[in-house]
Chain A
């Protein structure tokens, strides 16, 4: 009897000194909630502290930048070498440089007034190719606008890019959006829209649908560090985490949102530091190192599809080009800064790696440069000659069907044009046809 009592007392003492919650000892009502040294608030899980101390983010070391290959294209940590075969590496390089050639030519063509608008990808090619190469081709992509390399990797043709920029009859978007607002159903690349960050919570939703469909796919969502300031970014992260969505948030932190430097954009440790606040697995990577980007994306994909958890990747890079053709970045940043990053760009780094492997030489480089330029020019010439789509396309796809009031408005334009054709550029458009 006494021994039993002693045992019970010992148990009681043990339990009261252990940081356990009510629920854990709930099976024994007599000892329930005898003493608690853990907070029981439903909103958090942590300990009490009797020392007044604010968390100071400035006292914490920044999240490190993961890299695989140094600036000279040498694999610094052999164990991290993704060991990508020569053919794939050559495709990576060719896609990055082809994108670069297309950017140069389309940028110039806008300067000549041949297309209305353009945005280059200079300096960020590795973030596109490195991540795209680590995904399954059917993983759904939601982008911002500076991710053309992802499409390039998946097989979007030069014709398709340039037709969109021209808004001609061959543009699958039917000429309705500004240039660089690409989309492809076949390549699972959701059509780009201008409003920033709107795609982010949408990506979480699509990922939830994929999880329920158990199709083994994930969703990747690209955005810039500026877009991450939008409310939609907050919604996206929080929804993805609480609803366990298999989505990779891929932030391109290139230092600027148009003219706004990151010092005016945020005060914390970049975007990556926000990840754990939402309960997301997070990593920061050297965005100019295509292999590092490949590695983190591959791992993130694995986490998404196996554990239904979102992952945040922040790729540190630098926007070498202007924001867009409507922007002159010399107004707000020094040339030296741009040159510094341009001399250490992701394309050059991959080339150094390939040369070291004996997979690439100057002759191949020159030959490819010429060939890629020629390919772009040919596509460009073809796209420029094509007509714009039929003006009836202005009225279609607003709804799945054309409602009566829109049909009326379409008819009224038709009638108007029949009387005023000479006042409109109709010769540049396909002839009016209702079908």
Chain B
């Protein structure tokens, strides 16, 4: 029975039947990503690099942490076998004989975060995984009332700064209500924690290492749509990128720091002076594409800023850019009302009132739950952002 089936499959493959079929299937069940990934190029000073996707970069970071910090442990739901996204692949076997460094927890998010707090208080470096950011809410009490306030309330006698919570976030094409959320704004309202979102593998490694070593509890959101789709050169050595520092894709950076930025980034910068575009995670790539289209179609040059750290956020960099451009568009996948764009808009309005030449534009998800079949209409894609830019320059 099995043999003829195999032969048939082989024949199909040879004749390209399956290839055609899968094309049709992908058209029916998935759509093209709403963005084009723009690879980052690490500075030459970081030395040797390897091509990695986001999963591999996270895995590499965790591997490095477990190898260099004997107190470090990695845990969460299904982490031991490698994780549902494979971020902890092979790590259990590689580190520690007892399997007590990379382990499964019972299925309880409040338990996972609290256990991590306890580990940190007990002197360990705790890297907790919440399987999807959508499921972080059961741990909200532990994050906001406990982790964030541990140092303050004890007069700095105790802290859980060695805790990092990693969790996949953001749209993925078909994640619907509970596999698509971007809950960063809920966490931006919590003094005491840091909230960080990378836009690709190189950023992820540097920022995650910073989070793990930062003496404050950090929530690290990983845009899951980039896990396999984002591929770029990542330094193999240990390096960190600073938290609370937005990255402006600027001409001077290109010249002084020796960044060899991808073409579209350089274009946006070299010609950019009209509008500041701010985003984070996947949305940065949407904005880079928007910048390119705006240049080509409207002759508008944009400065694209990757906020990277949501809390405490780098208002200086953004205000500096807006002082130059006079116009600001903030875009995020999360819902509009009280999304983090609101905080940015309010601050920029207060700091740059005299420089603003038009109202600040926010292009966000709608104030609805994240829908399944309507995702293409829901997300703040390049066309919605482009309309936002038109509004800004025609004001």
Contacts and interface: CB of A to CB of B under 8 A. Distances in A.
Interface of A: 140, 142, 171-174, 176-177, 181, 183-185, 190-191, 193, 195, 198, 200-213, 219, 231-232, 234-236, 238-239, 242-243, 396-400, 403-406
A193 B147 CA distance: 11
Given A171-B155, A195-B146, A398 B121 contact: no
Given A206-B119, A206-B121, A207-B118, A191 B111 contact: no
A239 B142 CA distance: 15
Contacts of B146: 193, 195, 198, 202
Contacts of B101: 212
Contacts of B121: 140, 190, 202, 205-206, 209
A342 to B, nearest CB: 34
A201 B192 contact: no
A235 B100 contact: no
Interface of B: 71, 73, 100-101, 103, 105-106, 108, 110-111, 114-124, 126, 138, 141-142, 145-146, 149-159, 161, 191-192, 194, 215-216, 244, 312-313, 315-316
B122 A140 contact: yes
Contact of A208 (B106, B115, B149): B115
A395 to B, nearest CB: 10
A232 B155 CA distance: 25
Nearest to B75: A243
A201 B73 contact: no
A185 B158 contact: yes
A232 B114 CA distance: 8
A405 B313 CA distance: 9
A346 B105 CA distance: 40
Contact of B215 (A202, A209, A400, A403): A400
Q: What 9 A-B pairs are tightest by C-beta distance, nearest first?
A: A205-B118, A235-B111, A209-B122, A201-B114, A206-B122, A191-B154, A202-B118, A205-B115, A403-B312
6 contacts: A183-B157, A195-B146, A205-B120, A219-B122, A238-B106, A399-B194
Given A174-B156, A190-B154, 8 more contacts: A173-B155, A184-B157, A198-B141, A206-B119, A212-B73, A243-B105, A397-B156, A398-B152
B115 A201 contact: yes
Contacts of B315: 404-405
Nearest to B163: A205
B151 A236 contact: no
A191 B146 CA distance: 11
B152 A239 contact: no
A14 to B, nearest CB: 37
B114 A205 contact: yes
A209 B141 contact: no
Given A208-B122, A239-B105, A404 B312 contact: yes
B71 A212 contact: yes
Nearest to A173: B155
A424 to B, nearest CB: 21
A279 to B, nearest CB: 12
A173 B141 contact: no
Contacts of A235: 106, 108, 110-111, 114-115
A176 B138 CA distance: 27
Nearest to B314: A404
A201 B157 contact: no
Nearest to B160: A202
Given A195-B146, A239-B111, A201 B118 contact: yes
